[in-house]
Amino acid sequence: MRLRERAFYISITRAPRHHRQECVVEVLHARCAGLDVHKDTVVACIRIASKGTATQDVRTFQTTTSQLLALSDWLSEQEVTHVAMEATGVYWKPVWHILEESFELVLANAAHIKNVPGRKTDVNDAMWISDLLAHGLIRGSFVPEASIHELRALTRTRKQLVREKAQHMQRIQKTLEDANIKLASVITDILGMTGRGILEALIRGETDPEKLVDRRRGRLKATRAELVEALRGRVTRNHRFLLELHLNQIDALDKSIESVEKEVGELLEPFRAAAELLKTIPGVSDTVADVIIAEIGVDMLRFPTAGHLVSWAGLCPGNDESAGKRRSTRVRKGSPWLKTTLVQAAWAGSRTRGTYLRTQFLRLKTRRGPKKAIMAVAASMLTAIYYMLRDSVPYRDLGPDYFDRMDTTKVTTRLVRRLESLGFHVELKEAS
């Protein structure tokens, strides 16, 4: 397929079309390729620019390993230097792994490279991606190195297993409520020593509340009479079957979580120093530090500034303005695995007394509400993480009086007005 070199135009004025000033975007990559990746097929378009014209050749390959190797050989024969593809689910990953050793790869966000509506086909998509790549109009997504990618897969799996365990705990509680056993009302942890002993007795067929209470261990806030009343229910054979089923599932998940955590510890060994630095931040535990390293790595050169990292994580306000009016500042989705973890750490950090994070949260909470305040705290934590990993330095808290020190005049004026409103006459005099 041969066609004239496509030019991208920027109109400067509203003049008639033949009077408009136009600017042609320079071709940055003369030999490049665009891939439209699917589950079973990959549509590849090679674009070669020479002397003001561009030649495009389109072929379709299967996603089997042999066919992907054939795709790599074809791209090498055509002396392709750069290859771009969309991030489509998990289907781009095997293509990336095979091509990354031979070409400069760019992973594009599908929302950023949408084609003109009404022109969407697999071939057109591949041609469009190759055109954008040739002119340098694709902003590459963050793709971690192999070791970080493996660690990320484990930390995400661990979180999913923990979620499944929580679901089975909820189902146990639902089954107990159906049998009118109010165990959760008198015991905080129904899978603790006392709760576990009572559940195992119920599964074996014990229904006498007096004997069930004898299974308690340690100190409980509830009295014996309250426990007896809470354990007086109607447990059927079906209830016992469901309780045993969910307990077995929880035990299996606990073993899986333990094995995943052991594997995470081994993969995290090269990054142990970075993890120890992150744990100096208030609210950052071992698990949170593992997730942060798994999601963003330790090489901050991938992000030009701390603001780029905060934006990538989806922790900065959005811009939605029209006709001079701000319509919305809602944050975008960003990285869900990193974002949720940082928000949880921000809640813990905001409860740590005598810290900058707590002062920032309380300062913003009164004006913007707790949700926006906690997002700001999470953004501050991620900003600190960026500089800590970049410079290999521990966390240095700004102090709870940071805002007072930064704006002494404003604080003084506010306090004077407050005293005057209470009926006092205030005269300020600098201390010697």
Q: Return the pLDDT at 316.
A: 82
C-beta separation of 338 from 385 below 8 A = no
DSSP code per residue over 126-137: HHHHHHHHHTT-
pLDDT tens per residue across span 262-314: 999 999 999 999 999 999 999 999 999 999 999 999 999 889 999 999 988 98
Q: What pLDDT is stored for residue 323 in this prediction?
A: 75
Among candidate residues 290, 298, 292, 296, the one with its CA nearest the CA of residue 266: 290
When computed from its CA atoms, the radius of gyration of the chain, rounded to whole angstroms, is 30
| pLDDT tens series, the chain, 432 aa | 444 444 343 332 334 444 444 445 678 899 999 999 999 999 999 999 887 788 899 999 999 999 999 999 999 999 999 999 988 888 999 999 999 988 999 999 887 787 777 778 889 889 999 999 998 888 888 888 888 999 999 999 999 999 999 999 999 999 999 999 998 888 888 888 888 999 999 999 988 888 888 888 878 888 888 888 888 989 999 999 999 999 999 999 999 999 999 999 999 999 999 999 999 999 999 999 999 999 999 999 889 999 999 988 988 877 777 777 777 777 777 788 999 999 999 999 999 999 999 999 999 998 889 999 999 999 999 999 999 999 999 999 999 988 878 878 888 888 899 999 999 988 888 776
Which class is domain 2-134?
A: alpha beta
Listed residue (261, 288, 255, 250) closest to 385, CA to CA: 288
Whether the CB-CB separation of 72 and 99 falls below 8 Å is answered with: yes
What is the predicted pLDDT for the residue at 409?
A: 80
User: DSSP of 248-264, one letter per residue?
Assistant: HHHHHHHHHHHHHHHHH
Looking at residue 41, its pLDDT comes to: 93
Distance of CA 375 to the CA centre of its chain: 13
- Within a 13 Å sphere around the CA of 307, how many CA atoms are in the beta-carbon half? 2
Q: Is the CA virtual torsion 63, 64, 65, 69 positive or negative? A: negative
Residues 6+ apart with CB under 8 A from 74: 44, 46, 59
3-state secondary structure of 200: helix
- Secondary structure (DSSP) of 80-140: --EEEEE--TTTHHHHHHHHTTTSEEEEEPGGGSPPPTT---HHHHHHHHHHHHHTT--PB
Least Cα distance to 181 among 112, 221, 229 occurs for: 229
- Taking the C-alpha atoms of residue 175 and residue 183, their distance in angstroms, rounded to an integer, is 11
